[in-house]
Structure 1
Amino acid sequence: MSSSSREHDEGTTEVDPRYLETVTYQNREFQQHSVENSIYFSPIDEDEIERLTRQHRLLSIVFDERLVFPPINNPRRILDCGHGSASWAVDVAEQYPRCEVYGVDISSHMQPDEIPVNLHLQVDDLNRRFTFARNSFDIVHSQLVAGGINAARWTTYLRDLFRVTRPGGWCQMVEVYYQVQSYNGTLTDEHGLRQWSTRMFQSMEGLKDLRMPLHLANAMRTAGFVDIDHRMIPLPTCAWSDDERERRIGTENRDNVQSFLSSLAIYPLTERLGMAPNDAQLLIAQARNEADTPAFKWGFAGVFSTICLHRSKGASVKIALVSSKCVRRYNASLSECRNAY
């Protein structure tokens, strides 16, 4: 494991130069090591940093401005898996200044220039076994890593999360299921946004499991976690909902969607699926236009949030991720999503 924090922690070394090399595809900058080794296929440039910053704001709205969901007041050590631009890790380190926060990601390119003194950002491949000691962390946070975790790695990845979480500690996972769905029956297989989802899933077939968000609860139970709370929160592609909260989410998500329809897909569609660059750009443009049409009332199946305890210490703990009104609506949507896919 390589470290890019101010002081190197025991067991870390300087960042290997091969992790710093970049390559350009379709005018976007990627980490060469990631794409050549089929680890991660999203850009690591300034545009992606801006998108991840917007995405962090979006998730803050989705989760009512809460960074940490489990009922823990004074964590001593927190691990953030797949920190990306480190927005969550920075905010958590500032919220808990007496806590040591560790962030791990395959790339250091998107790390901020200045970070809190209690934040330690390290470079490593989450597809490899964790080097952290058993029972190291009070909270382990894993967010939007489905595009980077190999399909065959998920079982051992979740076991690693369990192993490094201390007894009585918590694991908090957030994933997005990028299958678009309609809330008024207007979506067909001919629409660009449906084709975008279909081809994205095809491009990752056998390598990454983009359907994992649907199965996280059972997978984490198998890994040993208990008191599992698994919720699905729909993500409107723009501000079409009459519900005030959902409309706010759609408003914030609009620019995020317009960005990720390109950044998440441009390499997989062209380099893995073999689409001609012009065809891929035309599909992305069509998907963007449709996603930005309020009359369609479309959304991605949603943000899946899974909170679970390392080991039960008595009665189950109920965690309110969102308001009770939203919980009823989202639980119904989760049932529909499972039935549909």
Structure 2
Amino acid sequence: MSLAIPPSPAAESDPPSSVEAVSPRSIIEADSEPSDGAESCDTSTKSVNQSIFDFIRENGRTYHRYQAGTYMFPNDQSENERLDLQYEIIKVLFKGRNFYAPLKDPKKILDIGTGTGKWAIEMGNQFPNCEVTGTDLSPIQPEWVPNNVKFVIDDANEEDWMIAPDSHDYIHTRILLGCFEDFREIIKKSFRCLKPGGYMESQEYMPTVYCDDGTMGPDYAFAEWTATQDKAAMTLGRPLRIANKLKRWYEQAGFVDVHEEIYKLPVNSWPKDPQFKMLGRFTESNLLDGLQAFSLQLFQKGLGWTKDEIEVYLVHVRKAISDRNVHAYHKIYVVWGRKPEKEEASAS
């Protein structure tokens, strides 16, 4: 089942690790003088079934109504603003690129889990002759969008997924960890729905906290929170550690010419390099703004914690995130692959 929002007129599990000696890219040099904490940081849409706008209220946050409980994180204004900041952070990290697959003249693009729709809108502007569709469980996208962009309320988990086989030139996902019981199923569906020669691309966040220089001790509260979050997610059947498996899953699904790029994203402004310092500063803000959202439903439903227990626990986690003496970072994976042409598939 899916609900279209008309355009406006104009498990696999592996043990979470915490320290990695060899980095995917060159070592980030830490700033020799870490600073103190002062641096921290209607009408068209309403035409769909009105009930999907009656969001579920829980713990002072709102959550999606359509397929309630499928997505464990809020959809309220503060979370949407955090998602927009996250989008800008990734854009800078990728040096302005929205995609890595070698797109030439795509006619149909699908963005699974589009969120606030910023990526879909930018792609619509970049490819004005292409039909760009963004799907999500929440109707949180803007009303005024390019004429070639539309948003649809849809659940990619469903068996009767709305996308026709061999219909799209490019399918995109970004930061969907914890959204699916088995992301391999999304890859398989996407493979089926791509035209021969079409591309799929996933830009994914690895929640494991890494450190290259030994400054992160075994008692680092943010790494401990990550392990706790991972335990809760696995209990609920919503794996978080999928980024490092994507390349293998793409190949297993039948994609060819599969590529992988890995980027480092500092947890806070500990790096010396000005751009990494800026990225770290905004990432710190993003993490602090989202920490409650990342914890509430997972810890309550997966571990049985109360809201008060969670809030007390997060006090030390927030301090750890802002500790510039710990040179911690996350990895962002970019994986893309091509669906073989018919003659390639026949030959293989």
TM-score with structure 2 setting the length: 0.81
**1:119-171 deviation digits (Å, cap 9, x = unpaired):** 110011111132211121111101112221123xx232211111111111111
Is residue 29 from structure 1 mapped to residue 62 from structure 2 by the alignment? yes
Whether contact under 8 Å (1:226, 1:312) holds in the other structure is no
CA-to-partner distance for each residue in 1:42-76, whole Å, 9 max, x for gaps?
11100011001101101101111011222223211
1:146 aligns with 2:177: yes
For each residue in 1:174-196, what CA deviation from the matched residue of structure 2 results, as whole angstroms up to 9, or x when unmatched? 11111122333233443321221
Pick from 151, 164, 171: which aligns with 2:200? 171
Task: Show the 5 A alignment for 1:246-325.
Answer: 246-300=276-330, 302-311=331-340
**Which of structures 1 and 2 has the bigger CA Rg?**
2
Q: How many residues align?
A: 304
Contact persistence 2:65–2:138 (CA under 8 A): no
Give the whole-Å Cα distance in 2 for the aligned partners of 1:189 and 1:275: 24
Q: Would you say 1:59 and 2:60 are equivalent positions?
A: no
Residue range with higher mean Cα deviation, 86-95 or 259-268: 259-268
Give the secondary structure class of the aligned counterpart of 1:135: coil
Alpha-carbon distance in 2 for matches of 1:291, 1:183 = 17
Distance 1:257 1:33 in 2: 27
Contact 1:60 1:66 in 2 (8 A): yes
The farther-off stretch of 161-170 and 280-289 is 280-289
Equivalent of 1:98 in 120, 129, 143: 129
2:266 maps to which of 214, 236, 258: 236
Instruction: Return the alpha-carbon distance in structure 1 between the equivalents of residues 221 and 343 of structure 2.
Output: 50
Q: Distance in 1 between matches of 2:115 and 2:263?
A: 22
Amino acid across the alignment from 1:145: L
* Secondary structure in structure 1 of the residue aligned to 2:335: strand
Q: Give the whole-Å Cα distance in 1 for the aligned partners of 2:78 and 2:217.
A: 31
Deviation, 1:103, is 0.6
Task: Tell me if structure 1 keeps the 8 A contact 2:108–2:132.
Answer: yes
Gaps of 5+ in 2: 9-46
Task: Evaluate the alpha carbon distance shift between residue 74 and residue 210 of structure 1 in structure 2; reply closer, same or farther with a 3 A threshold.
Answer: same
> What stretches of structure 1 of length at least 5 have no aligned partner?
8-13, 316-341
In 2, Cα distance between equivalents of 1:19 and 1:253: 31
Spell out the pairing of 1:218-229 with structure 2 (5 A cutoff): 218-229=248-259
Does 1:181 pair with 2:214? no
Q: Please give the root-mean-square deviation of Cα atoms over the aligned residues, in Å.
A: 2.2
Look up the match of 1:201. 230
Contact 1:106 1:126 in 2 (8 A): no
The amino acid across from 2:205 in the alignment is V
What is the distance in 2 between the residues matched to 1:107 and 1:265? 19
3-state SS of the aligned residue for 1:55? Answer: helix
Amino acid at match of 2:197: G
- Cα distance in 1, alignment partners of residues 156 and 141 from structure 2: 17
AA partner of residue 199 (structure 1): T
Equivalent in 187, 191, 208 of residue 162 of structure 1: 191
- Mark the CA change 1:289 to 1:70 in structure 2 (over 3 Å): closer, same or farther: same
**Structure 2 partner of 1:2:** 3
Specify the alignment match of 1:216 in structure 2. Answer: 246
Q: Is this contact kept in 1: 2:178–2:238, CA < 8 A?
A: yes
Question: Residue 40 of structure 1 is aligned with which of 71, 85, 94?
Answer: 71
1:16: how far off?
Answer: 4.3
The 8 Å contact of residues 79 and 137 in structure 1, kept in 2 or not, is answered as yes
- Give 3-state SS (helix, strand or coil) of 2:97's partner: coil
Match of 1:80 among 111, 114, 138: 111
Q: Work out the percentage of aligned pairs sharing the same amino acid.
A: 23
- Rounded Cα–Cα distance in structure 2 between residues aligned with 1:111 and 1:208: 24
TM-score normalized with structure 1 length: 0.83
Query: Structure with the greater relative contact order (CA < 8 A, sep ≥ 6): 1 or 2?
Result: 2
